[in-house]
Amino acid sequence: MRVPKSIILCALAVSGLLLVLFTTCLAQESHLVATEANPRFADTQRNEGARFKLPPNALQMARIIGVESDFQKLSALAAAKGAGASSLSLEELSLRQQITEAVIAASLDVDSVAGEIDYEREQTVELRSLWRYKRDRAIGSTNLAVLAAGTGLGIVSGLLQFSKTTSGAGNAVGFAAGGVSTLFSLHSFRQVHGGKRVEWILPNMLAAFLGEPEEQHSHYPDDIWTYLNSVPPGADSQASRKEQMLAGWVAAGRIGPPDSPQRKRRIALLTSTNAADKDLNIELMNERAAMLADVGDQVLLMKHDLADLLRGLRP
C-alpha cells in the first residue's frame, strides 16, 4: 500500500516540531539550573544595561566636570553589546580613559585649593599666636612696672607722711604714684590689640566668597567654583553650597547681614592681605580661621562625589 506524499510531509513536520520543543525545554531547564546555582547571573542580565547609572551626587559631578555625555555613550554601548560580551571595545576604552582623566584633573584641583586654604589657615594661626604672645609678654611687663612703680612710690609717700615738713611732698608723691599707675594701665589696655605688627602678605581664599577682588593664589578653578555654587542633590532648600555657608556665617555673627552697615568693613578686614593692618585683631583671626575651615571642608567633600563617579565605571 502506497502512503500518500502529503501524509509523509505532515509526519516529518510534526517530528521536527517535537524536536524543536524538546531542545527548547532542555535549554530553558539548563538556564534555570544555572540561574539557581548562581543567582548573580540573572542580576547581571537584568542590570547589564543599567550598570552605568550613577547616584544623584555622582551624576551632578559628571555634569560639572563635563563627562555626563561620555557616561551616556558608555551605557548605550554596554546595553547594545548584550550580556554575553565581556571584552571592551576601543570606543569603550577611550570613553573610560576620558572619564578617568577628567576625574583625576578635578581631584588635583581639589588638592590644590585645599592646599591654598590650609596654607592661609596656617598663616592666620601663626599670626594670631604671634600677636597673642607679644600681647601677653607686653601686658606682663606693663603690669610688673605698674606694681613696681605703685608700690615703690607708695612706700616713699608713706615715709614722707611721718613728718609734717615733708607731708606735702608725700602727698605729691602719692598723687604721682596714682598717675603713673593710670598711665601704665592705659598702655596695657592698648597692648591688648597685639602691639607692633609684623610685615607679611596673607593669602585671600575668602575673597571670592565675600564678593571681594581675588588676589594671587586665591582663584578657584571653574569645576570647584561650579560645585560650590550648585545645589546639593536631595537638599531641602534650593540654596547652593556657597549660599548655605554664607547663611551659616551670618547666623554665627562672623559677618553681618546683607543690609548691615558694618558688613562691608568687616568683610574688608576678614579678607585683608596686609598683616600689619592695625585694625586687625586676634578675634578677627579666629573668625577667619574658622571660615577657612568651613570652605576647606566643603571643597574636600567634592572628593566623595568624584569617588562615586569612578565607582560607576565598575562592571
Helix (H, G, I), strand (E, B) or coil at 252: coil
Question: How confident is the model at residue 288, as a pLDDT?
Answer: 92
Question: How confident is the model at residue 97, as a pLDDT?
Answer: 93
Q: What is the pLDDT along the chain (315 residues), one digit of tens a residue?
A: 454 555 555 555 545 554 544 455 444 544 444 444 444 434 433 443 345 578 899 999 999 999 999 989 988 888 887 655 667 789 989 999 999 999 999 999 999 999 999 999 988 888 887 777 666 666 666 666 566 555 655 555 555 555 556 555 555 555 555 555 565 555 555 555 545 556 667 888 999 989 888 776 678 999 999 999 999 998 888 999 999 999 999 999 999 888 888 888 999 889 888 877 778 888 888 999 999 999 999 999 999 999 999 988 876
For the record, the C-alpha cell of 68 comes out as 555626563
Angle 293-124-224 from CA coordinates, rounded to 5°: 40
Query: What residues have CB less than 8 Å from 290, skipping those under 6 apart?
Result: 254
Distance of CA 81 to the CA centre of its chain: 40
> 274 pairs with which residues across the strands?
201
Sole residue written with cell 547589564: 48
Query: What residues have CB less than 8 Å from 294, skipping those under 6 apart?
Result: 245, 248, 249
Question: How confident is the model at residue 115, as a pLDDT?
Answer: 93
DSSP labels for 49-89?
Answer: TTTT---HHHHHHHHHTT-HHHHHHHHHHHHHH-SS--SPP
Question: How confident is the model at residue 44, as a pLDDT?
Answer: 39
Distances 283 to 140, 286, 288 between C-alpha atoms, Å: 20, 5, 9
The answer to pTM > 0.85 is: no
Question: How confident is the model at residue 51, as a pLDDT?
Answer: 53
Helix (H, G, I), strand (E, B) or coil at 201: strand
Question: How confident is the model at residue 246, as a pLDDT?
Answer: 94
